[in-house]
Structure 1
Amino acid sequence: MGNSGNAFIEMTGITKRFPGVVALSDVSLSVNRGEAVALVGENGAGKSTLMKMLSGLYHPDEGEIRVNGQPARITDPKRAQELGISTIFQEPSLAPHLSAVQNVYLGREVQKGLIGRAVKRLDEKAMLEETQKLYAKFFPTVEDVLVPVGQLGALKNRVIEIVKALSIKCSLVIMDEPTAALAEHERQVLFDFVHMLKSQGIAVIYITHHLRELFGLVDRIVVMRDGKNVAEVGPEDTDEGGLVARMVGRTITNYIVKEDVPVGGEILRVNGLSRRGVLEDVSLHVNRGEIVGLAGLAGAGRTETVRAIVGADKTSSGTVFVDGRKCRIRTPKDAIRCGIGMLPENRKLQGVLIEQDVKDNITLANLKEVLAGNFVIRKNKEVKTAKEYVQRLGVKTPTIYQKVKSLSGGNQQKVILAKWLFTKPQVLIFDEPTQGIDVGAKHEIYRLIADFVKEGGGILLVSSELPELLGLADRIYVMHQGRIVNEFTRAQATEENITLYASGGHES
């Protein structure tokens, strides 16, 4: 529980019930001023629910919250901010039509009075300068802060959320999966921020599935499982394996799959893919039974490349071949016809219909298989198909009629994979496949990836997690500024040489 005499936040006996489930049961947590405490556990362990108590989004059914030693009732997010609590949520919380500056200061705009008048106006210069100063820690292109955030990628949106949280004068910062989709050097910038906050006496609660981030960053690690406290350890007293065992109640070893699968003929070839100002002459290939990685820093063009391959973005030139056949791909529907499926980076916005049920999502990309001749869905066929894929992929859902939004991140990803497997693809493209997914679910996703290539498919894998790429990929292409700058075999690839080329070090 830490030193309660120096605690900024103390939560004791917190219980929270939802219809049919006890989300939290007698949970306690304290965080001292100037201390970083990690909160870890599988999806559904109760971490985010507990933090929503501090953020004013949920209210405990039982238990007490004390702030600065005084009992506190955190009625809403505004009250949380007044108490000095700032949160970086796991789910996107930005208004897409507003700029970064407008999002950062939304609801708390800086004003200044006009000379000789009581009338005030927005101090746009002050807000712009502060936003640019923080944003420049991550990206040199500070003009991004004036662009509607909906036009920026998922990574830059994440950074803007971090900037928003840090811009609030606070005594506690809650970071829920703050490094999702961040490249290694960008994560280090965030870690430096954490150390800076601690040195200023600010408390930090840090939630992540990337367990290796915690060592050298946090002072204590609190482990949750099934809505309860199960352990509290110092980072010096454990390792990743020990944390995983506490989180899942069992030992998971070698959960990154690295298997030798017989490699067959070429299944995907991309030649000269270009998009003015974004991609330049990108060429790559994937063989049957092969996992090919695509590495690079944010803005290198990885997501842009895979979106161009499946026709989600227009290109100025380039050709795509599947199994030796030239494919005319102008839309994702064309890609499906050619045997290509893609699991996108932002699964909730682009991968699933979040308000629809599991059954509808699984059959969505191949409706012709469950339609009768008069374009009426054959319900029996649809239900049978959904149940088969739920069982085959191990989707944890009480029923195929459950809305996808209520599933964990790992199970949402399995539903997306089921959707594409139902189209009988030859090539699957994964963009950040385990982002925001706990270690147990990662293990299951890796196994499903391995099963696909064992059956003769080919995979193109985009990941910001270098250990993930090194653990899964047979070959890795490295991108920098919209171009492929090198290719490494599994034997050649290391974090050092990938980072060198990804950062443009080969040009110096």
Structure 2
Amino acid sequence: MEHDGAEGGVDHDAATRTGGNAVTPALEARGLRREFGHVRALDGADFDVNAGEVVALIGDNGAGKSTLVKALSGSLAVDSGELLSDGKPVTIDSPTAARSLGIETVYQDLALAPHLDPVQNMYLGREVMRSGLLGRLGFMDHNEMKEHTRRAFADLGATVRDFAAPVGSMSGGQRQQIAVARAAAWASRVIFLDEPTAALGVVQTRNVLDLIRRVRDRGIAVVFISHSMPHVIEVADRIQVLRLGRRVATYDAKKTSMEELVGAMTGAISQEAA
């Protein structure tokens, strides 16, 4: 378990160690700061996630989770700090810049077009045009897009039964799977999932958690933002806790407890004692 803070001679290397060798994070943030007027949303926040792991990002309301995710996904500029991808400094100043680095984000509103079917949503803004003159005239290759969508969903075990129905007519669980599968199809490095199990039933939640594991097993880093401690402990490999705009602790999900996580979130467990 890693703990943040300058006190106590703590090892501050954000990389997870395996067999004594440092692993370069797929995405890392160092000392991010962002203020909104007199409100300091990020106060030197650090974060890291490695390829092929699920990192849960937790914290009480106002801890800075949303601001950090927006900064890492290119939706919000920071006042200071450093971002690194595979150990190299990068600038992520727009969602387009994030996508160019293989980073995709699924927000709570899913950003799906409810009147379009799963294939059209998969390729929204990324449509494949037909070859030759027809492509130059604006004709799309619907067969290729449909086949690629079917394969992508099948590879991840997404239970989408009707590829011709508008996604607005589907259950919340199916819509969530479509959004996650779409992100996984285009991401090569990192996926951010903002409260992906919120308002889902037991079966739908199980399908989404299984989907997250499959994405991880493809070597993609998954950042799981959630208020559900049972889901966090179940699906995450590591858990990073934000409090008052800073990362205050990082836990091995298999070696922590709900009480310990809540204590770190609320400040009942201090950085030094965590």
- Regarding TM over 0.5, the answer is yes
Q: How does 1:235-384 map to 2 (within 5 A)?
A: 235-250=253-268
Q: Partner of 1:180 in structure 2?
A: 198
Structure 2: which amino acid aligns with 1:170? Answer: S
Q: Equivalent residue of 2:235, what SS?
A: coil
Contact 2:33–2:45 (8 Å) recurs in 1: yes
Q: Partner of 1:283 in structure 2?
A: none
- The yes-or-no answer on 1:84 pairing with 2:97 is no
The partner residue of 1:234 within 252, 258, 261 is 252
RMSD: 2.5
Q: Partner of 1:190 in structure 2?
A: 208
- The yes-or-no answer on 1:221 pairing with 2:239 is yes
- CA drift of 1:72 comes to 1.0
The partner residue of 1:2 within 6, 10, 15 is 15
- The yes-or-no answer on 1:68 pairing with 2:86 is yes
The partner residue of 1:139 within 155, 159, 171 is 159
- CA drift of 1:239 comes to 0.8
Q: How does 1:359-438 map to 2 (within 5 A)?
A: none
Contact 1:111–1:122 (8 Å) recurs in 2: yes
- CA drift of 1:27 comes to 0.4
Distance in structure 2 (CA, Å) of the matches to 1:156 and 1:195: 17
Q: Partner of 2:65 in structure 1?
A: 47
Contact 2:237–2:254 (8 Å) recurs in 1: no
Contact 1:114–1:120 (8 Å) recurs in 2: no
Contact 1:138–1:186 (8 Å) recurs in 2: no
Per-residue CA deviation, residues 211-260 of structure 1 (Å, 9 max, x unaligned), is 11233422211011121212111123311122112112349xxxxxxxxx
Distance in structure 2 (CA, Å) of the matches to 1:93 and 1:116: 30
The partner residue of 1:20 within 33, 38, 43 is 38
Distance in structure 2 (CA, Å) of the matches to 1:116 and 1:149: 28
- The yes-or-no answer on 1:30 pairing with 2:48 is yes
Distance in structure 1 (CA, Å) of the matches to 2:65 and 2:123: 27
Which has the higher mean CA deviation after the structures are superposed, 38-47 or 97-106?
Answer: 97-106
Structure 1 residues 59 and 236: CA distance shift in structure 2, 3 A: same
Q: How does 1:451-466 map to 2 (within 5 A)?
A: none
Size of the aligned set, in residue pairs, is 249
Contact 1:10–1:66 (8 Å) recurs in 2: yes
Q: How does 1:157-172 map to 2 (within 5 A)?
A: 157-172=175-190
Structure 2: which amino acid aligns with 1:192? Answer: D
Contact 2:173–2:204 (8 Å) recurs in 1: no
Distance in structure 1 (CA, Å) of the matches to 2:134 and 2:34: 53
Structure 2: which amino acid aligns with 1:36? Answer: V
Q: Partner of 2:8 in structure 1?
A: none
Structure 1 residues 155 and 200: CA distance shift in structure 2, 3 A: closer
- CA drift of 1:117 comes to 8.1
Q: Equivalent residue of 1:7, what SS?
A: coil
Contact 1:175–1:206 (8 Å) recurs in 2: yes
Structure with the greater relative contact order (CA < 8 A, sep ≥ 6): 1 or 2?
Answer: 2
Structure 1 residues 120 and 96: CA distance shift in structure 2, 3 A: closer
Contact 2:173–2:205 (8 Å) recurs in 1: no
Distance in structure 2 (CA, Å) of the matches to 1:126 and 1:181: 34
Q: Partner of 2:11 in structure 1?
A: none
- CA drift of 1:172 comes to 0.8
Contact 2:172–2:200 (8 Å) recurs in 1: no
- CA drift of 1:156 comes to 3.4
Contact 1:25–1:227 (8 Å) recurs in 2: yes
TM-score normalised by the chain length of structure 2: 0.81
Structure 2: which amino acid aligns with 1:13? Answer: G
Q: Equivalent residue of 1:146, what SS?
A: coil
Distance in structure 2 (CA, Å) of the matches to 1:68 and 1:92: 27
- CA drift of 1:23 comes to 0.8
Q: Which runs of no fewer than 5 residues in structure 2 stay unpaired? A: 1-13, 17-21, 270-274
Distance in structure 2 (CA, Å) of the matches to 1:43 and 1:117: 49
Q: Equivalent residue of 2:34, what SS?
A: strand
Contact 1:114–1:121 (8 Å) recurs in 2: no
Q: Equivalent residue of 1:122, what SS?
A: coil
Structure 1 residues 149 and 196: CA distance shift in structure 2, 3 A: closer
- CA drift of 1:153 comes to 4.4
Structure 2: which amino acid aligns with 1:70? Answer: K
Larger radius of gyration between Structure 1 and Structure 2: 1
Q: Which runs of no fewer than 5 residues in structure 1 stay unpaired? A: 252-508
Contact 2:158–2:178 (8 Å) recurs in 1: no
Distance in structure 2 (CA, Å) of the matches to 1:134 and 1:183: 24
- CA drift of 1:199 comes to 2.9
- The yes-or-no answer on 1:94 pairing with 2:112 is yes
Q: Partner of 1:310 in structure 2?
A: none
- CA drift of 1:120 comes to 6.2
- CA drift of 1:146 comes to 2.6
- CA drift of 1:187 comes to 3.0
Q: Partner of 1:205 in structure 2?
A: 223
Q: Partner of 1:105 in structure 2?
A: 123
Identity %: 36
Q: Partner of 2:10 in structure 1?
A: none
